């Protein structure tokens, strides 16, 4: 009997991944009307009983009453809550190896490291996190480009919501480095970039002269200045392309500051090399001590999954606990919460982190925004994600209750208008909630019943139209 | 030129002391009283290695040589309650954790150069203790670091125990603090039954004498306090450098606390502890833990402690009277009182001031150390104070 | 603050004697008095009156500036300047500067707005103490691998306020934070003025000096010599680099002049290929230059310079560098057609290269220089008729830093302990004509006179340390002697400091160190100077701080007794004339 | 209000706290002042809501306490006018939580084999007051301290967390720990112990009979050693039994058969009889005496089967209490009569394990309960932090389908049952010991904090007062 159960659960897992494949490939976006639900649009007042119309992968309308086209599939959300998909503002989960061993690798892209088969994505889907900003890890100096993905799809391509969103940097020393060397590497990387670009400019200018069969008549500085305008995007070596964009302030960037003392360094570096206006600071739990510097900087921040910082007083040994988001919120900064991944506690859920913030005195509005709209804005996707508004991507959740309530589960999840999650079809949850005898049929069933049959019984009809487009 | 002067001066000095024979008097600028204050312009009369008299109006008997040291001050010899001088590491017993019968008396080499170093740092009386790697290390011994040979051994000191991590390892029992306490309880119960047992352990177990118990962590202080209260024991907490974090427990022990060894790298959290203990009327003693640390650190520690705000009286006591009390030799050493041994130090300034150099150290009236560079300073006044 | 919970609710210790620190949320910090125009005017009038009281002869320069006045009167002033000790003196601070230091008139002064008069009879006043060699507040956050391009500022934890507050509490107002020691050049030190513990970063002076270490720990003679050699090689490279740059600058000037005169550079289509060839040659050339570095492994010259260190004597090519990585990536696509095997250019050179087969490697520099010169001449002759663009020497970050020392733009410090090593270092200093100081110097005694002759300053670390057993055993007890020795040998200047502590502690025990040095034979005056003006001088800050002199920044400490006395405590600390610490409750 | 609402209470709470603090402090002072005299006086806690666990959840309930016991719980209950009133009208009351298996304060050496005569009581080293205080702060009022070791290492001690000193416990005997993690050794060992105990019972019986019937002369004769014989006889018998069947339905039938035969052969050997110390507990277990509980622990599900086999043929105490150490595979034997269905009390760590070889979580606690088990929870380790997290962990299990009432019971009543203290502890009901924990929210709201703990009418922890002290 034990074996039978075992076998079955293993097969179920397989089936689920198959199911995901099916959802992804069914690329035709439907027109769906979610009606009668309580709508929490995040950027506006909640609507007690309202409807959300999803069309062509976007939110067509949100309101108390919405005119729906005749062909819309209507889903009654009576007693349910309609909420935008939550956003994980920064994580290295989902990558097979989070960091390359050389510290300065601005030419890399997480695209090459995303592993769609990781359970992380499935769990994110189940927990309502519909956009995940996958970024290189913190053990780096200047790392590659990041990517916003949705947790559904078989390839990084299919999963992509927005490519090459930002660059990842870290001022906290990489393994084997100390702070001084970390910063020395920063300086050297940008100095080299400058030099190489200058040389390129000079060469371009000379090439131009050569083409026009002219002689060189200006000193090097002038040649460089004149050559600058001649540089075309294709001339820039791949190695420097991203770093150049960064230094020109054209690339969003996430800078990791593990300790308070790293914050001023991060701000200084960002300002010095011209990418400050696009910076988001990823903070360790101790960094709240640098709140003045952060406040002056006024840039959005991503908080550590561990929301409480505990420290013993050097003099008295007394332990002090500080609730970090409160300090950040009081300073008026926009922040995003992270999940404490790997924990067996509630902190592994985004909604729980937000609920905790509310409990510690942060306004509900801010707490909700910190898991939806603010991270979207940080990622430059404020016009696409993070709230229920007309024209935004239809990343929508239907929840069984209030998003900050302990017993709430995600019932339905839509990514770009497609239904990608249905709790009723979530095999793992079905198994979790099933009565002991349910999941295998009545326990009195004869032992000789073939295992495979049991499967078809359970799953028949769940995924009826596996239309594959590809 | 210079060298010749050194020679002459050195000759003069030795001559003067030699002249004194068994009795001599020293006129000095002042001396450090047990309460930490300084009485000025005094005469110290030494008779047969003991202090005959000390004070402003001491009449020097005829025939007794008088040495003029009007630019110098006298301080009592320092007493260090926890050293392993001259043991050459022989105080480790690998097999057993409980060595109640061990006697430190038997394990040190009285001619070891460690003693000279200690004497040069002004430490005239020390307790030599078994290592801290035993639950019960055995009985300590109190010795002088120099002086007349026959008088060096002052007798046996308190029992030494250790409740630190070091005392327990997996290769022998007890392997843990709890096991250790369990064993102790049993041994104490046995000792209480047998009133005739006069061993050091039995006497401590019955609450008749005190013992040195090494604790280390603040938790250790609490554990010790509870245990002492439960069993009615007298325990001097050793190396309880954070005792101030367990003030109530430290108080309930009813014994002085031993602190050490302070260095210039210690964070303030440790060095401000004596200050708090003093404010709460808990006496404390400082130790140098020589030879693991330099003997000279004893005075440095005292200065650091004073800089953190500990009162002079407590700091003075922590180097002299309190450790003498712990060692059980308060009747003989620890202060410059008539009748006590003539263990004293000549300083060129306030004995508690780090700027003052030790000019000479005397034990039992005998000079055991004289500052090497003394002459050059006497010669050119540049090194002195303004 | 929400969520602030103590686990030890009944802790007996209350931090009463802490300097004012900002605890999160509330601001409790003294600031400059800021005055608007009208107030300033009235102020000026008042000041004039007050000064009349305080001084016998008011100096115009004193009240020419705005701002309030703080005067400490009646104390013994240890000026650390030529004025020496002033009994019953008065120190007047105004506008962040010391307005005057003189003997007090002793006249009574009525209370006046804007005047902060501190009666300090029986007390002492000194300039703010300076810890010239310290690791206070340093948090490298990883295994220490400093390189010449490191900067101590980058590892300075400005939020370690408790540590800085402790130093301030002991009268320290300036700390020279040096990069941790690891042998070789370990970067540049920073100077922090403890002006505002909530804005330490705003009071940091960077690049105070370059720091190097020789023969730390229990290294054997061979590795110590290797270390010294490495230092010398790097300096040599830097010198060559400087020469190359100078040469380039010269050529560039000529080139520009020629262009101005109407000459032009002819560009041909073939230039491209030629350039490539040149580049290849250049690579070789670079290696060739490396050879000049007397015994440097030719392989380990420039490839790794972007890592900030040059690997002398240590083979570290196992690590694939970013450049190699990129080159390899690109080679996958491009070079294949040319029959290039991926990875060809990464490891093969090591295999092919045989240092013993290379006769140039061990040869002396002058010969090579001659060869080079010849080459150049030949080259010049050939291209005489045609104008050529000069080639800029490849950037070398390490040499960029060391070049500044060679040009005497920035002082350099050698931490060295053994007498033999000291002599070696003195020679090095002499050879490259460096503005140098010897640091640590625990074994100075036998060579004190040599140091004195070399006119090299000495910074002594901890005067006493823990005893044997650890790897700093050579520091034991020797500092005490060296302090005395330095004085006897009249080594000037002598600086006392807290030295390398490793755990971020430092500065707190500066006065006790000085007191011990006094007991070792240093005069009290010299000891005070060694932790004030001489310390400032060693950090090139003596123009601004370090002594109580008119016009200097008002870093002033008021002591309850003589600073070196065991029971004297700091009563007040002023930095830039602002009271940053006050001992509450008095005695 | 079945569900836990995480959001909105915070602000109201802080506002209320000031007022509350004053009220609490006043009442605390009043209490301490009159504590001695108040032996027979009434104490009344006025609450916003009482989660009684045993019965219903009562809004605006008052809890009346006399002599340390609960006199009444209800909305409108009468109490004398001079009663001490603890105003906790903003707080929710629940019974004190119980940690049934901890090593806090345990001092015994690592016992092996049958050391069931060892009592934790004798060596209990009370933890620091701080630890006690922090446990109270986490809502724990009772600890079941386990003896250290394997086999039958001794008997547990149950101590209250409000400052009990060495040796003081509410229960110090009769909680026999049995670990069962290495079947080959422990099976034999356990069987051996039980056999010896059985023999001892027989011998005792005989001795008694003899003493009653015959004169002292006969005692001298009786001396022989039939021990070995008996062992030889029994072993093959047992093995045969087990190899044949699953042991599902077998247990009841097999035992009476083998017993009588063994009895008769031993008859003659006794003289003056006294049961060995270490056999006393097993004997009591076999005699099913009142107040003896076997706290059996398993590492794997298969251990349960082996255990059944090991005790086959013996009549064991009627009350088993399981604490599963590994439990990841306990679902495998969920239908086993000893687990599901039986009156076994199973203690688990409040985690959501995954099906072996898969990543599918399953709610073991819920499934066991649905099979008819009684399930309780114990903290993951002895850290105070884990105690604080218990309510959160259990709340996460309720999210995964565990019923609220089961969850609450699992923290209070079931551990009490496990320790044989269900008559005194575990609910807020009449006659029970008045261990009342007052929270500023629902017990299963992970963000709710314990604000006050009242034991026997005395306030032993008061957060507001402490925070005020700090300032």
Residue D130: closest C-alpha in chain C: C8
Chain A residues whose CB is inside 8 A of the D329 CB are 2
Degrees to nearest 5, angle at CA B347 with B345 and B348:
165
pLDDT in tens, D381-399: 888 999 999 999 999 999 9
CA distance A226 to A220: 10
Chain C residues whose CB is inside 8 A of the D470 CB are 6, 9
Q: Which residue in D363, D389, D446 is closest to A432 by CB distance?
A: D363
Listed in sequence order, the residues at least 6 apart from B360 whose beta carbon sits closer than 8 Å to its beta carbon are B345, B346, B367, B369, B370, B371
The answer to whether B267 contacts C462, with C-beta atoms less than 8 Å apart, is no
Cβ neighbours around C342 below 10 Å, total? 12
Instruction: Name the residue among D150, D190, D157 with its Cα closest to residue D173.
Output: D157
Degrees to nearest 5, angle at CA A227 with A222 and A231:
160
Query: Helix, strand, or coil here: C238?
Result: helix
**A220 part of contact set with chain D, CB < 8 Å:** no
Radius of gyration in angstroms for the set of CA atoms belonging to chain A, rounded to a whole number: 26
Residue A317: closest C-alpha in chain B: B245
Annotate chain A with three-state secondary structure: CHHHHHHHHHHHHHHHHHHHHHHHHCCCCCCEEEEEEEECCCCCCCEEEEEEEEECCEEEEEECCCCCCCCCEEEECCCCEEEECEEEEEECCCECCCCCCCCECCCCEHHHCECCCCHHHHHHHHCCEEEEEECCCCCCCEEEECEEECCCCCCHHHHEEECCCEEEEECCCCCCCCHHHHHHHHHHHHHHHHHHHHHHHHHHHHHHHHHCCCCECCCHHHHHHHHHCCCCHHHCCHHHHHHHHHHCCCCEEEEEECCCCHHHHHHHHHHHCCCHHHEEEEECHHHHHHHHHHHHHCCCEECCCCCEEEEECCCCCCEEEEEHHHHHHHCCCCEECCCCCCCCCHHHCHHHHHHHHHHCCCCHHHHHHCCCHHHHHHCCCCCCCCCCCCCCECCEEEECCCCCCCCCCEEEEEECCEEEEEHHHCHHHHHHHCCCCCECECCCCCCCCCHHHHHHHHHCCCCCCCCCCC
Q: What percent of chain A has pLDDT over 90?
A: 64
Mean pLDDT of B61-75: 91
Confidence class of residue B325 from pLDDT cuts 50, 70 and 90? very high
Residue C2: closest C-alpha in chain D: D14
Confidence class of residue D21 from pLDDT cuts 50, 70 and 90? very low
3-state helix, strand, coil split of chain B in percent (to 5) is 35, 25, 40
Query: Which one has a higher pLDDT value, C29 or D30?
Result: D30
Listed in sequence order, the residues at least 6 apart from C57 whose beta carbon sits closer than 8 Å to its beta carbon are none
Chain D residues whose CB is inside 8 A of the B219 CB are 128
The answer to whether C85 contacts B386, with C-beta atoms less than 8 Å apart, is yes
Chain C residues whose CB is inside 8 A of the A199 CB are none
Query: Helix, strand, or coil here: B24?
Result: strand
Query: Predicted ipTM?
Result: 0.75
CA distance C183 to B356: 37
Helix axes A238-247, C322-334, angle to 10 degrees: 130
pLDDT at C27: 31
pLDDT at B143: 94
Chain B nearest C-alpha distance from C468 (Å): 7
Give the least confident one: A354-358, C421-425, C529-533, D13-17: D13-17
Residues of A at the B interface, defined by Cβ within 8 angstroms: 314-317
Chain D nearest C-alpha distance from A117 (Å): 13
pLDDT at D114: 84
pLDDT in tens, A34-70: 999 999 999 999 999 999 999 999 999 999 988 888 8
Listed in sequence order, the residues at least 6 apart from C424 whose beta carbon sits closer than 8 Å to its beta carbon are C214, C228
Query: Which one has a higher pLDDT value, C344 or B59?
Result: B59
**A444 part of contact set with chain C, CB < 8 Å:** no
pLDDT at C193: 94
Mean pLDDT computed over every residue of chain D: 77
Interface B-D, measured as beta-carbon pairs within 8 A, has a size of 12
Residue C570: closest C-alpha in chain B: B307
pLDDT in tens, D153-208: 889 899 998 866 655 778 888 888 888 876 677 788 888 888 888 888 888 888 88
Give the least confident one: C210-219, C453-462, D143-152, D409-418: C210-219
pLDDT in tens, A429-440: 988 888 665 544
> Which two structure tokens, joined as six digits, stand for C549?
């002199």
Q: Which residue in A9, A404, A427 is closest to D6 by CB distance?
A: A404
Q: What percent of chain C has pLDDT over 70?
A: 63
The answer to whether C512 contacts B304, with C-beta atoms less than 8 Å apart, is yes
Mean pLDDT of A197-203: 92
The answer to whether A173 contacts C140, with C-beta atoms less than 8 Å apart, is yes
pLDDT at A191: 93
Mutate to test the interface with B, among D104, D111, D122, D123 (most CBs of B within 10 A): D123
CB < 8 Å from D in window 438-457 of A: 443
**C33 part of contact set with chain B, CB < 8 Å:** no
Interface C-D, measured as beta-carbon pairs within 8 A, has a size of 8
CA dihedral B153, B154, B160, B166 (to 10 degrees): -40
Mean pLDDT of D275-289: 83
Residue A314: closest C-alpha in chain B: B269
pLDDT in tens, D409-439: 999 999 998 888 989 999 999 889 999 999 9
CA distance B380 to B1: 12
pLDDT in tens, C290-328: 333 333 333 433 333 333 333 333 333 344 555 665 665
Chain A residues whose CB is inside 8 A of the B243 CB are none
Listed in sequence order, the residues at least 6 apart from A375 whose beta carbon sits closer than 8 Å to its beta carbon are A87, A88, A89, A131, A133, A302, A336, A386
Question: What pairing do the DSSP bridges indicate for beta strands B78-83 and B123-128?
Answer: parallel
Mutate to test the interface with B, among A311, A312, A315 (most CBs of B within 10 A): A315
CA distance A244 to C165: 42
Degrees to nearest 5, angle at CA D227 with D226 and D229:
70
DSSP D146: P
What b/e string do you get for D143-174 counting C-beta neighbours within 10 Å, with b at 16 or more? bbbbbbbbbbbbbbbbbbbbebebeebebbbb
CA distance D129 to C35: 56
What b/e string do you get for B179-204 counting C-beta neighbours within 10 Å, with b at 16 or more? bbbbbbbebbeebeeeeeeeebbbbb
The answer to whether C7 contacts D469, with C-beta atoms less than 8 Å apart, is no
pLDDT at B62 > cutoff 90: no
Interface A-D, measured as beta-carbon pairs within 8 A, has a size of 101
pLDDT at A135 > cutoff 90: yes
What are the E-state strand segments in chain B?
23-32, 38-47, 50-55, 65-76, 78-83, 123-128, 136-144, 153-162, 210-214, 234-238, 257-260, 284-287, 344-347, 358-363, 366-370
Chains that touch B (3 or more CB pairs under 8 A): A, C, D
Chain B residues whose CB is inside 8 A of the A315 CB are 268-269, 272
Distances (CA, A) of D156 to A251, A451, D124, D426: 64, 46, 10, 18
The answer to whether D107 contacts B230, with C-beta atoms less than 8 Å apart, is no
Query: Helix, strand, or coil here: D50?
Result: strand
The answer to whether D130 contacts C6, with C-beta atoms less than 8 Å apart, is no
Q: Are residues C518 and C459 in contact, defined by beta-carbon separation less than 8 angstroms? A: no
Chain B residues whose CB is inside 8 A of the A311 CB are none
The answer to whether C170 contacts B265, with C-beta atoms less than 8 Å apart, is no
Cα C359 off chain centre by: 41
Residue linked to tokens 């007051």: D129
What are the E-state strand segments in D241-379?
293-298, 320-324, 345-348, 374-377
pLDDT at C364: 41
The answer to whether C7 contacts D130, with C-beta atoms less than 8 Å apart, is yes
Chain D residues whose CB is inside 8 A of the A427 CB are 360
Listed in sequence order, the residues at least 6 apart from C498 whose beta carbon sits closer than 8 Å to its beta carbon are B264, C131, C133, C134, C136, C461, C462, C505, C506, C507, C508, C509, C510, C513
Mean pLDDT of C277-284: 49
Chain B residues whose CB is inside 8 A of the C482 CB are none
CA distance C378 to C375: 5
Residue C509: closest C-alpha in chain B: B264
pLDDT at C230 > cutoff 70: yes
Distances (CA, A) of B27 to A173, B71, B365, D282: 64, 9, 15, 84
pLDDT in tens, A100-125: 888 899 999 999 999 999 889 999 99
Q: Which residue in C12, C166, C464 is closest to B300 by CB distance?
A: C464
Mean pLDDT of B9-31: 65
Strands of C204-205's sheet in order across: C129-134, C172-177, C190-193, C204-205
Cβ neighbours around A162 below 10 Å, total? 18
Confidence class of residue A14 from pLDDT cuts 50, 70 and 90? very low
CA distance C158 to B347: 43
Mean pLDDT computed over every residue of chain C: 72
The answer to whether B222 contacts D128, with C-beta atoms less than 8 Å apart, is yes
The answer to whether A315 contacts B242, with C-beta atoms less than 8 Å apart, is no
The answer to whether B178 contacts D166, with C-beta atoms less than 8 Å apart, is no
Cβ neighbours around A374 below 10 Å, total? 25
Give the least confident one: A9-13, C274-278, D78-82: A9-13
pLDDT in tens, C474-504: 454 566 667 777 777 777 678 888 776 555 6
Residue C12: closest C-alpha in chain D: D470
pLDDT at A211 > cutoff 60: yes
Degrees to nearest 5, angle at CA C315 with C309 and C319:
75
Q: Are residues B280 and B254 in contact, defined by beta-carbon separation less than 8 angstroms? A: no
pLDDT at C451 > cutoff 70: yes
């Amino acid at each position: 009997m034990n074996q039978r159960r075992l076998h079955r659960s293993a097969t179920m897992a397989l089936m689920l991944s198959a199911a995901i494949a099916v959802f992804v490939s069914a690329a035709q976006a439907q027109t769906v009307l979610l009606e009668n639900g309580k709508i929490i649009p995040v950027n506006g007042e909640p609507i007690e009983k309202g409807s959300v119309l999803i069309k062509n992968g976007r939110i067509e309308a949100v309101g108390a009453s919405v005119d729906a086209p005749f062909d819309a599939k209507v889903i009654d959300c009576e007693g349910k809550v309609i909420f935008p998909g939550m956003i994980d503002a920064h994580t290295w989960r989902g990558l097979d190896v989070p960091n390359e061993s050389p510290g300065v690798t601005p030419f890399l892209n997480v695209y090459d490291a995303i592993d769609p088969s990781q359970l992380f994505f499935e769990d994110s889907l189940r927990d309502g996190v519909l956009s995940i900003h996958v970024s290189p890890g913190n053990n780096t100096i200047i790392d590659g480009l990041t990517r916003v993905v949705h947790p559904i799809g078989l390839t990084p391509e299919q999963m992509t919501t927005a490519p090459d969103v930002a660059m990842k940097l870290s001022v906290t020393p990489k393994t084997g480095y100390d702070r001084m060397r970390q910063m020395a590497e920063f300086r050297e990387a940008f100095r080299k970039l400058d030099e190489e670009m200058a040389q390129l400019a000079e060469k371009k200018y000379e090439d131009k002269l050569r083409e026009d069969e002219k002689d060189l008549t200006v000193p090097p500085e002038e040649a460089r200045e004149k050559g600058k305008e001649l540089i075309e995007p294709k001339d820039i070596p791949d190695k420097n392309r991203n770093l150049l964009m960064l230094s020109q302030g054209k690339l969003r960037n996430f800078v990791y500051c593990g300790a308070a003392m790293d914050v001023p360094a991060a701000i200084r570096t960002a300002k010095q090399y011209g990418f400050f206006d696009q910076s988001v600071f990823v903070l360790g739990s101790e960094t709240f001590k640098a709140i003045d510097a952060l406040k002056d900087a006024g840039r959005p921040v991503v908080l550590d999954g561990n929301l409480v910082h505990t420290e013993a007083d050097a003099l008295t040994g007394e332990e002090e606990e500080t609730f970090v988001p409160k300090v950040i919120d009081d300073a008026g900064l926009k922040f995003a919460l992270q999940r404490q991944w790997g924990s067996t506690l509630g902190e592994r859920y985004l909604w729980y982190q937000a609920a905790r913030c509310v409990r510690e005195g942060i306004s509900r509005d801010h707490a909700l925004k910190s898991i939806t709209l603010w991270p979207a804005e940080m990622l430059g996707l404020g016009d696409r994600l993070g709230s229920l508004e007309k024209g935004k991507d239809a990343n929508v959740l239907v929840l069984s209750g209030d998003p900050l309530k302990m017993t709430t589960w995600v019932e339905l999840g839509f990514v770009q208008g497609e239904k990608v999650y249905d709790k009723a079809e979530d095999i793992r949850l079905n198994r979790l909630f099933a009565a002991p005898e349910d999941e295998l049929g009545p326990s009195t069933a004869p032992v000789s019943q073939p295992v495979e049959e049991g499967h078809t019984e359970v799953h028949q009809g769940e995924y009826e139209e596996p239309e594959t487009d590809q | 030129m210079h060298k010749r002067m050194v020679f002459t001066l050195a000759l003069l000095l030795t001559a003067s002391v030699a002249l004194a024979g068994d009795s001599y008097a020293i006129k000095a600028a002042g001396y450090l009283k047990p309460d930490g204050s300084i009485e000025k312009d005094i005469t110290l009369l030494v008779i047969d290695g003991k202090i005959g008299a000390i004070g402003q109006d001491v009449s020097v008997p005829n025939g007794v040589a008088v040495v003029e040291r009007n630019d110098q001050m006298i301080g009592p010899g320092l007493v260090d309650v926890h050293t392993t001088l001259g043991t050459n590491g022989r105080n480790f017993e690998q097999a057993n954790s409980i060595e109640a019968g061990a006697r430190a008396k038997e394990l040190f080499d009285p001619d070891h150069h460690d003693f000279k170093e200690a004497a040069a740092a002004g430490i005239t009386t020390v307790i030599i203790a078994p290592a801290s790697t035993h639950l019960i290390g055995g009985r300590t011994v109190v010795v002088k670091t120099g002086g007349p040979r026959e008088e060096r051994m002052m007798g046996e000191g308190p029992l030494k125990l250790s409740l630190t991590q070091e005392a327990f390892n997996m290769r022998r029992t007890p392997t843990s603090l709890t096991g250790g306490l369990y064993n102790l309880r049993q041994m104490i119960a046995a000792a209480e039954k047998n009133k005739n047992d006069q061993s050091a352990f039995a006497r401590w177990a019955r609450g008749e004498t005190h013992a040195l118990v090494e604790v280390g962590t603040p938790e250790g202080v609490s554990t010790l306090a509870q245990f002492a209260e439960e069993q009615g024991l007298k325990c001097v907490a050793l190396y309880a450098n954070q005792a101030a974090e367990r003030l109530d427990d430290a108080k309930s022990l009813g014994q002085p606390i031993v602190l050490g060894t302070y260095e210039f790298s210690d964070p303030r959290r440790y060095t401000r502890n004596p200050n708090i203990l003093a404010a709460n009327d808990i006496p404390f003693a400082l130790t140098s833990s020589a030879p693991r640390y330099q003997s000279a650190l004893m005075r440095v520690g005292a200065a650091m402690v004073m800089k953190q705000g500990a009162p002079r009286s407590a700091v003075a006591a922590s180097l002299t009277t309190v450790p003498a009390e712990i060692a059980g030799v308060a009747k003989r050493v620890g202060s410059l009182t008539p009748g006590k041994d003539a263990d004293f130090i000549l300083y060129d300034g306030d004995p508690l001031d780090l700027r003052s150099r030790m000019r000479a150290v005397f034990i039992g009236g005998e000079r055991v150390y004289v500052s090497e560079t003394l002459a050059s300073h006497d010669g050119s006044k540049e090194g002195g104070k303004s | 603050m929400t969520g602030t919970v103590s686990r030890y609710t009944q802790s007996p210790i209350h931090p009463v004697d802490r300097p004012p620190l900002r605890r999160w949320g509330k601001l409790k910090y003294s600031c400059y008095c800021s005055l608007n125009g009208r107030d300033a005017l009235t102020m000026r009038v008042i000041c004039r009156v007050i000064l009349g009281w305080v001084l016998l002869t008011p100096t115009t320069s004193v009240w020419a500036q705005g701002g309030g006045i703080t005067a400490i009167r009646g104390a013994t002033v240890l000026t650390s300047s030529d004025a020496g000790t002033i009994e019953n003196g008065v120190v007047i601070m105004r506008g962040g500067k010391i307005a005057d230091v003189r003997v007090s008139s002793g006249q009574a002064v009525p209370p006046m707005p804007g005047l902060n008069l501190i009666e300090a009879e029986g007390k002492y006043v000194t300039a703010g103490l300076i810890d010239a060699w310290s690791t206070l507040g340093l948090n490298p956050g990883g295994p220490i691998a400093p390189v010449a391009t490191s900067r101590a500022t980058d590892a300075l934890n400005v939020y370690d306020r408790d540590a800085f507050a402790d130093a301030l509490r002991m009268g320290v107002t300036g700390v020279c934070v040096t990069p941790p020691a690891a042998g070789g050049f370990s970067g540049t030190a920073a100077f922090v003025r403890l002006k505002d513990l909530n804005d330490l970063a705003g009071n940091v002076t960077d690049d105070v000096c370059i720091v190097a270490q020789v023969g730390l720990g229990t290294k054997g003679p061979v590795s110590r010599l290797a270390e010294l050699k490495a230092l010398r090689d790097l300096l040599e490279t830097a010198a060559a680099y400087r020469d190359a740059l100078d040469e380039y600058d010269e050529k560039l000037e000529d080139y520009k002049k020629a262009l101005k005169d109407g000459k032009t550079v002819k560009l041909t289509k073939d230039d491209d290929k030629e350039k490539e060839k040149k580049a290849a040659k250049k690579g070789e050339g670079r290696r060739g230059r490396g050879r000049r570095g007397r015994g440097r492994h030719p392989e380990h010259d420039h490839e790794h310079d972007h890592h900030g260190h040059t690997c002398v004597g240590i083979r570290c090519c196992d690590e694939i560098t970013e450049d190699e990585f990129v080159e390899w990536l690109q080679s996958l696509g491009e070079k294949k057609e040319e029959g290039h095997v991926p990875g060809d250019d990464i490891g093969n050179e090591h295999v092919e290269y045989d240092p013993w087969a290379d006769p140039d490697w061990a040869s002396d520099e002058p010969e090579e220089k001659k060869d080079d010169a010849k080459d150049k001449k030949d080259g010049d002759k050939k291209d005489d008729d045609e104008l050529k663009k000069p080639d800029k020497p490849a950037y070398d970050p390490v040499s960029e830093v060391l070049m500044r020392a060679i040009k005497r733009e920035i002082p350099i410090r050698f931490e060295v302990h053994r007498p033999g090593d000291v002599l070696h270092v003195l020679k090095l200093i002499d050879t490259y004509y460096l503005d140098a100081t010897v640091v640590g110097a625990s074994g100075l005694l036998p060579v004190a006179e040599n140091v004195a002759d070399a006119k090299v300053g000495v910074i002594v670390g901890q005067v006493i340390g823990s005893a044997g057993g650890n790897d700093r055993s050579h520091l034991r007890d020797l500092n005490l002697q060296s302090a005395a020795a330095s004085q006897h040998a009249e080594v000037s200047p002598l600086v006392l400091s807290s030295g390398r502590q490793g755990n971020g502690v430092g500065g707190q025990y500066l006065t006790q160190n000085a007191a011990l040095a006094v007991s070792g034979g240093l005069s009290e005056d010299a000891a005070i100077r060694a932790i004030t003006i001489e310390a400032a001088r060693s950090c090139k800050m003596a123009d601004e701080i370090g002594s109580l002199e008119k016009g200097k920044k008002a870093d002033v400490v008021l002591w309850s007794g003589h600073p070196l006395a065991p029971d004297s405590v700091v009563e007040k600390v002023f930095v830039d004339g602002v009271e940053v610490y006050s001992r509450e409750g008095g005695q | 209000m079945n569900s836990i609402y995480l959001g909105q209470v915070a602000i109201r709470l802080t506002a209320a706290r000031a007022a509350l603090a004053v009220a609490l402090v006043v009442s605390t002072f009043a209490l301490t002042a009159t504590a001695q005299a108040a032996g027979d006086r009434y104490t009344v806690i006025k609450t916003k809501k009482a989660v009684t666990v045993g019965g219903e959840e009562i809004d605006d309930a008052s809890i009346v306490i006399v002599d340390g016991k609960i006199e009444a719980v209800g909305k409108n209950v009468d109490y004398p006018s001079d009663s001490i009133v603890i105003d906790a009208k903003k707080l929710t009351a629940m019974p004190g939580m119980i940690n049934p298996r901890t090593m806090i304060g345990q001092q015994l050496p690592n016992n092996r084999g049958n050391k069931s005569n060892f009592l934790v009581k004798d060596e209990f080293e009370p933890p620091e007051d701080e630890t006690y205080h922090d446990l109270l702060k986490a809502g724990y009022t009772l600890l079941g301290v386990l003896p250290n070791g394997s086999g039958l290492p001794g008997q547990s001690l149950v101590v209250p967390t409000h400052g009990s000193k060495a040796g003081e416990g509410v229960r110090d005997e009769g909680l026999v720990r049995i670990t069962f993690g290495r079947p080959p050794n422990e099976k034999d060992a356990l069987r051996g112990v039980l056999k010896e105990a059985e023999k001892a019972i027989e011998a005792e019986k005989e001795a008694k009979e003899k003493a009653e019937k015959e004169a002292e002369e006969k005692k001298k004769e009786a001396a022989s050693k039939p021990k070995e014989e008996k062992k030889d006889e029994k072993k093959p018998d047992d093995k045969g039994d087990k190899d044949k069947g699953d042991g599902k339905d077998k247990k009841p039938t097999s035992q009476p058969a083998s017993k009588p035969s063994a009895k008769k052969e031993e008859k003659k050997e006794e003289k003056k009889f006294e049961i060995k110390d270490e056999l006393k507990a097993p004997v009591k277990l076999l005699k099913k005496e009142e107040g003896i509980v076997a706290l059996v622990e398993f590492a794997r599900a298969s251990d349960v089967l082996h255990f059944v086999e090991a005790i086959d043929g013996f009549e064991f105490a009627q009350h088993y209490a399981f604490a599963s150490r590994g439990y990841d595979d306990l679902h495998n034997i969920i239908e086993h009569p000893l687990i599901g269905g039986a009156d076994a009390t199973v203690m688990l760590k409040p985690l959501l394990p995954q099906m072996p070889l898969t990543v599918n979580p399953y709610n073991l606690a819920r499934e066991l309960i649905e099979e008819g088990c009684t399930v309780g929870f114990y903290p993951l380790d002895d850290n105070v932090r884990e105690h604080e997290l218990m309510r959160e962990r259990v709340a996460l299990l309720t999210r995964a389908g565990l019923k609220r009432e089961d969850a609450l019971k699992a923290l209070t009543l079931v551990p009490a049952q496990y320790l044989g203290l269900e008559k005194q502890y575990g609910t807020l009901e009449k006659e029970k010991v008045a261990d009342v924990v007052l929270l500023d929210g629902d017990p299963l709201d992970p963000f709710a904090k314990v604000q006050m703990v009242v034991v026997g009418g005395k306030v032993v922890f008061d957060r507001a007062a402490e925070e005020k002290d700090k300032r």
